[in-house]
Amino acid sequence: MRAPQVVPAPGLPERVTVYEVSPRDGLQNEQATVPTEVKAELIERLAGAGLGVIEATSFVRPDRVPQLADAERLMAGLKRREGVRYPVLVPNLRGLERALDLGVDEIAVFASATESFAKANLGRGVDDALAMYAPVVERARSEGLAVRAYVSMCFGDPWEGDVPIDQVVRVGRALVDQGATELSLGDTIGVGTPGHVTALLAAFGAAGIGAGRLAVHFHDTYGQALANTVAALQAGVTVVDAAAGGIGGCPFARSATGNLATEDLVWALHGMGVATGVDLPALVATSIWMAERLGRPSPSRVVRALAADG
């Protein structure tokens, strides 16, 4: 299978952590129920391909995201590999308790930079959502868990349009002050551009939150995800969210299309001389396998090209 020619690019980190979100963010928007056994095999295949962080599921209410109603069953039967992290998303204290009962050692919470999306996704405004997460983060940290905080709609909102940078920083700052150990800045509808990425990261730095505490989560609606990722790496970010095969979206934002495909990300990074620890052929094989189970071709350009190349 063809590999990219390695021509190192200046100003990039030596290594990037790929935060794989396909089992949770990738599958949450699927209309047809994906069997628990398929999800478990997907996670096992991803770990076998060298992904060191795999967000496994969400302990959200089943009526809110029916696709993830099997969170307990999935986590109880998961074959965990040494050295692989399996974080889960929790929406509230009840979700955290469910996760703790299954021995989870890393969680994520999901906030919004905008009022409209907070109300659509969480049923409450930004400040009320932050207040809801404060005891969740506090309890998780008291149990020794790492806590990632997603901030969605950082670059644009389908209802509100442009999102002021200082508004995003305010929400992120509040989550860090609560105890979040990492912030993932999300372009939920994929409208961001590289200059915007650079400006947002600089604003976080000015607020005392350096690139070492930040991750980026780009959707590829307008074809900007890879360019935005490179801009983030040049600003010092070393954690990038992606979904194998480019699957995913958001059930609460109709404008959100697929995530940045992990294969497209890995091809670009390896070509620029940036290490990821990911076995690209094994990952491509995993995405082809998953696409067959979803009944449609993978949207990843690298998956399609390498599949055709043989």
Number of domains present in the structure of the chain: 1
Q: DSSP assignment, residue 49?
A: T
Domain residue limits at 96: 17-309
Can you give the pLDDT at residue 49?
A: 98
pLDDT value for 258: 81
User: Would the pLDDT of 121 be above 90?
Assistant: no
Q: CA-CA distance, 228 to 224, in Å (whole number)?
A: 6
Q: Can you give the pLDDT at residue 55?
A: 98
- Is residue 182 domain-resident? yes
The tokens describing 95, both together, are: 């979700």
Percent of the chain with pLDDT over 70: 97
**28 within a domain of the structure (yes/no):** yes
Question: Residues 18-29: what's their mean pLDDT?
Answer: 94
- Residue 36 placed within a domain: yes
Q: Is the pLDDT of residue 275 over 50?
A: yes
pLDDT at 256: 42
Please check the confidence at residue 31 and state whether its pLDDT lies above 90. Answer: no
For residue 10, being part of any structural domain is answered with no
Residues 145/105, Cβ–Cβ less than 8 Å: yes
Using 50, 70 and 90 to split pLDDT, how confident is the model at 64? confident
Is pLDDT of 246 > 90?
A: yes
Q: Is residue 7 part of a domain?
A: no
In a domain, 3, yes or no: no
Task: Indicate whether 5 belongs to any domain.
Answer: no
Q: Tell me the average pLDDT across 86-102.
A: 96
Q: Give me 195's structure tokens.
A: 């200059």
Q: What pLDDT is stored for residue 202 in this prediction?
A: 98
Residue 255: predicted pLDDT: 40
Which of these ranges, 22-31, 186-195, 213-222, 264-273, has the smallest mean pLDDT? 22-31
154 is catalytic: no
% residues pLDDT > 90 (the chain):
90
Per-residue b or e along 66-92, where b marks 16 or more CB atoms closer than 10 Å to that residue's CB: ebbbbbeebbeebeeeeebbbbbbbbb
- Mean pLDDT, residues 271-293: 97
Output the domain CATH number for residue 33.
Answer: 3.20.20.70
CA–CA separation, 42 and 55 (whole Å): 11
Q: What is the mean pLDDT of the chain?
A: 94
Q: Looking at 250, 253, 274, 303, which residue is catalytic?
A: 250
Q: Is residue 95 part of a domain?
A: yes
Among the residues of 69-143, which ranges form H helices? 71-77, 93-101, 115-122, 126-142
